[in-house]
């Protein structure tokens, strides 16, 4: 019985540690933003692989997104609209299709403000994936 419980604990620990890639989302960029900031540029250094979609997640505090501009390795850029501009802490934006299709992202510019209930700084992460 003791060995069985150890095996269950081991499997649960692995399940918590090993990320799941069911949606194939990969982190492109991450930055800490303070409540008194209104602009941030995140450089994508982790991936040179083209993506078709992005999403944004936040931790510690939410953000109210005014504009997002995605700059591609080709030099072209797109402004992307969010239907729900508030991204609360611990949540993520809707999936955003890149208007220019599958592209290698160089950097992401955020224009934002803190929601009225925001506390401290927020950790903002940009994720990317292909639709395949």
Tens of pLDDT, residue by residue over 30-76, are: 999 887 778 899 999 766 789 999 999 999 988 889 999 999 999 99
Nearest Cα neighbor of 107 from 122, 126, 121 is: 126
> Domains along the chain?
21-129 (2.60.120.260)
Using the predicted structure, report yes or no on whether residue 91 has a pLDDT greater than 90: yes
DSSP secondary structure, 57-97, as one string: EEESS-EEEEEEEEEETTS-EEEE--SS-EE-TT-BPPPEE
pLDDT of residue 45: 75
**Tokens 């900031």 correspond to what residue?**
37
Query: What average pLDDT does the chain have?
Result: 82
- Decide: pTM greater than 0.85: no
Provide the token pair at 48: 């040179």
pLDDT of residue 2: 61
pLDDT of residue 51: 94
Rounded Cα distance, 33 and 20, in Å: 27
C-alpha dist (Å) from residue 63 to 103, 104, 110: 26, 25, 10
């Amino acid at each position: 019985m003791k060995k069985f419980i150890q095996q269950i604990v081991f499997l649960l620990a692995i399940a918590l540690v090993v990320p799941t890639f069911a949606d194939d989302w990969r982190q492109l960029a991450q930055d800490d933003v303070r409540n008194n900031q209104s602009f941030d540029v995140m450089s994508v250094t982790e991936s040179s692989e083209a993506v078709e979609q992005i999403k944004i997640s936040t931790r510690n505090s939410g953000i109210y997104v005014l504009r997002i501009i995605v700059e591609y390795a080709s030099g072209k850029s797109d402004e992307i609209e969010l239907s729900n501009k508030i991204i609360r802490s611990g949540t993520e934006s809707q999936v955003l299709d890149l208007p220019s299709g599958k592209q290698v992202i160089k950097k992401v510019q955020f224009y934002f403000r803190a929601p009225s209930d925001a506390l401290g700084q927020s950790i903002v992460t940009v994720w990317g994936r292909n639709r395949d």
